Amino acid sequence: MDRARDLPGWPNSEASRFIRNGHHDWHVQEMGSGPDLLFIHGAGASTHTWRDVLPDLAGQWRCLALDLPGQGFTRSRSAQRWTLPDMAADIRALCDAQRWRPRAIVAHSAGVAIALAMARDMPDPPAVIGINAALGRFRGVASWLFPLLARVLSLNPLTPTLFTLGGKNIPRARRLIESTGSRLDARGMYLYATLMADRDHVHGTLQMMTNWKIDPLLADLPQISVPVRLITGSGDTSVPPDTSREAAACLPHSSVVSFEGLGHLAHEEAPERVCREISGFLSDEARAG
């Protein structure tokens, strides 16, 4: 994403800043005051996914949202830091360098795996709130076809260019979003179309997909003892709600809540409902702790 061209019109851009740390030039949005609450988006998204969540929660928390390496406005200076352990370690290093002390991590889809990997390894681990958590293996033929396809695409230097031909393609973005069971307004569709038209963002997303190996984390779930709340949308056709229920059965201190009628981007479809759930969970944990 071009910072000069795209950032001024990006959601919550007044809260944006850039931090060079480790292997990346991070795009971070900071809003509010209070205990630290870290936000991690899923593959192919950016801080825009929290556009209505951050202002809602900023009254009680210092909300810290980042773009993952190579996605959105974060620029990666290393071609080798795309794996789940690397991304978790690099975000931890950013938190340490900035003296952020997340009380909890709110994450979406593949970002939930990164959040749990961080919680597993941090000395003072945060609670985790996961929205439509991608905590399962691809099923059936997809277990080998999807990673292989992503790898082939990422190795072809023309792939991002071919994918982004035609600029902002709203109908294509709508088809992709609606295939996940979500319905967004025109603004939401425009933002995803903007991301999908950006070669660097597509390249970063493909690299993340190519290097995605979740089995070691799944094996460690029984050892991750932090409080975890998993939120599912009953209409999610991208990550089946059963995925969260199966993961919760392996996590010692976890619970699942389902929102009827919402899809994979539940927090964009119904941000007020999701924020109430987040606030309620964090309040309960504060009283219990």
**Total tally of structural domains belonging to the chain:** 1
Q: Which amino acid is at 155?
A: L
Residue 261 lies in a domain: yes
Residue 193 lies in a domain: no
Residue 246 lies in a domain: yes
pLDDT of residue 163: 52
CB atoms within 10 A of CB 176: 17
Structure tokens at 106: 């709110």
pLDDT in tens, 227-264: 999 999 999 998 999 999 999 999 999 999 999 999 99
* pTM for the full predicted model: 0.92
Residue 186 lies in a domain: no
Residue 158 lies in a domain: no
CATH number at residue 264: 3.40.50.1820
| Tens-level pLDDT at each residue, the chain (289 residues) | 999 999 999 999 999 999 999 999 999 999 999 999 999 999 999 999 999 999 999 999 999 999 999 999 999 987 778 899 999 999 999 999 999 999 999 999 999 999 999 999 999 999 999 999 999 875 544 444 444 444 544 455 545 554 555 567 788 889 888 988 999 999 999 999 999 888 899 889 888 888 889 999 999 999 999 999 999 999 999 899 999 999 999 999 999 999 999 999 999 999 999 999 999 999 988 877 6
pLDDT of residue 77: 86
Residue 161 lies in a domain: no
pLDDT of residue 157: 53
**Cα gap 69→27, rounded to integer Å:** 9
Angle subtended at Cα 2 by Cα 73 and Cα 43, rounded to the nearest 5 degrees: 35
178: Cβ contacts below 8 Å, ≥ 6 apart: none
Find the domain containing 87 and state its range. Answer: 3-137+213-288
Asked whether the beta carbons of 259 and 230 are under 8 A apart, the reply is no
- 3-state helix/strand/coil string of the chain: CCHHHHHHHCCCHHHEEEEEECCEEEEEEEECCCCEEEEECCCCCCHHHHCCHHHHHCCCCEEEEECCCCCCCCEECCCCCCCHHHHHHHHHHHHHHHCCCEEEEEEECHHHHHHHHHHHHCCCCCEEEEECCCCCCCCCCHHHHHHHHHHHHHHCCCHHHHHCCCCCCHHHHHHHHHCCCCCCCHHHHHHHHHHHCCHHHHHHHHHHHHCCCCHHHHHHHHHCCCCEEEEEECCCCCCCHHHHHHHHHHCCCEEEEEECCCCCCHHHHCHHHHHHHHHHHHHHHHHHC
Residue 43 lies in a domain: yes
Structure tokens at 236: 């999610």
pLDDT of residue 207: 87
Residue 152 lies in a domain: no
Strand partners, 24: 21, 76
